[in-house]
């Protein structure tokens, strides 16, 4: 294994409060009723148009684009400040770097947002490549972003592992021909993740660590 690629939300860190604020803002500006906290939380990791459809039933493409714009507008104010990394994230990334493994993040967040969060925690030099939703035409579970990360790293799919917390991540890995390991730090339980091809489903990154080239 030459490369370890991570999802961000609920895998490396938590931006729940920022995301909920942005979802509520977008729904309100579009005239939709407010959604419940848990209902919104379960959309984390989906594309924003998909989140809108899940929360409201609205599949109108124009409204999806406007919802995305409104979400980003609010995210500029709150996302980085409200973000946290899980306690084991920086030590794990540091160990991978020391051992010479390539590292990447593939996320539905914009690249600059992830870079801002990494900078906040002094971890920007621990990730070689970040691929955000602003860099691809097709968001996860389409494999485009994961395949782009592999290309930028110059790594073949069989030499990488993708670590994520959701069915979206598992489907993305499967479509890209990359091994998948799941963590249950998000809203998706082990039973659901185990329905997909995987090498391990673990409660958090600490158990995932034993699979990695450390």
Domain range enclosing 62: 16-82
CA 203 to chain centre: 17
Give the pTM.
Answer: 0.90
Domain boundary among 82, 115, 134: 82
Q: How far apart are CA 160 and CA 180, in angstroms?
A: 9
CATH of the domain at 51: 1.10.150.240
Q: How far apart are CA 124 and CA 147, in angstroms?
A: 21
Domain identity same for 96 and 65: no
Domain identity same for 42 and 147: no
Average pLDDT in the 22-46 region? 94
Write out pLDDT tens, residues 97-113.
Answer: 999 999 999 999 999 99
Domain identity same for 56 and 67: yes
Domain identity same for 8 and 24: no
Residues 6+ apart with CB under 8 A from 173: 146, 162, 164, 179, 180, 196, 197
| Per-residue model confidence (pLDDT) at position 77 | 95
Per the structure, the count of domains in the chain is 2
CATH of the domain at 130: 3.40.50.1000
Write out pLDDT tens, residues 53-63.
Answer: 999 999 999 99
Domain identity same for 69 and 92: no
Domain identity same for 64 and 96: no
Domain identity same for 99 and 157: yes
Domain boundary among 82, 99, 130: 82
Q: Which among 191, 195, 197, 165 is positioned nearest to 178, based on CA atoms? A: 197
Domain boundary among 82, 105, 130: 82
Domain identity same for 96 and 196: yes
Q: Residue 213: pLDDT above 80?
A: no
| Per-residue model confidence (pLDDT) at position 212 | 76
Residue located via tokens 């799941």? 182
Average pLDDT in the 5-26 region? 96
Domain identity same for 91 and 115: yes
Q: Residue 89: pLDDT above 70?
A: yes
């Amino acid at each position: 294994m030459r490369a370890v690629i991570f999802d961000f939300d609920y895998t490396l860190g938590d931006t729940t409060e920022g995301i909920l604020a942005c979802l509520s803002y977008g729904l309100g500006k579009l005239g939709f009723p407010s959604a419940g906290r848990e209902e919104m939380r379960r959309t984390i990791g989906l594309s924003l148009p998909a989140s809108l459809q899940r929360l409201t039933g609205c599949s109108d493409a124009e409204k999806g684009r406007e919802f995305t714009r409104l979400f980003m507008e609010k995210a500029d104010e709150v996302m980085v400040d409200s973000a946290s990394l899980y306690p084991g994230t920086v030590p794990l990334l540091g160990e991978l770097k020391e051992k010479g493994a390539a590292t990447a993040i593939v996320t539905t967040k914009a690249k600059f947002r992830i870079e801002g969060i990494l900078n906040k925690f002094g971890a920007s030099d621990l990730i070689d490549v970040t691929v955000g939703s602003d860099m691809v035409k097709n968001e996860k579970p389409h494999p485009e972003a994961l395949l782009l990360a592999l290309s930028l790293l110059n790594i073949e799919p069989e030499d990488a592992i993708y670590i994520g917390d959701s069915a979206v991540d598992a489907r993305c890995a499967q479509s890209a021909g990359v091994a998948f390991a799941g963590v249950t730090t998000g809203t998706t339980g082990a039973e659901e993740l185990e329905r997909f091809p995987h090498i391990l489903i673990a409660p958090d990154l600490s158990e995932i660590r034993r699979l990695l080239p450390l």
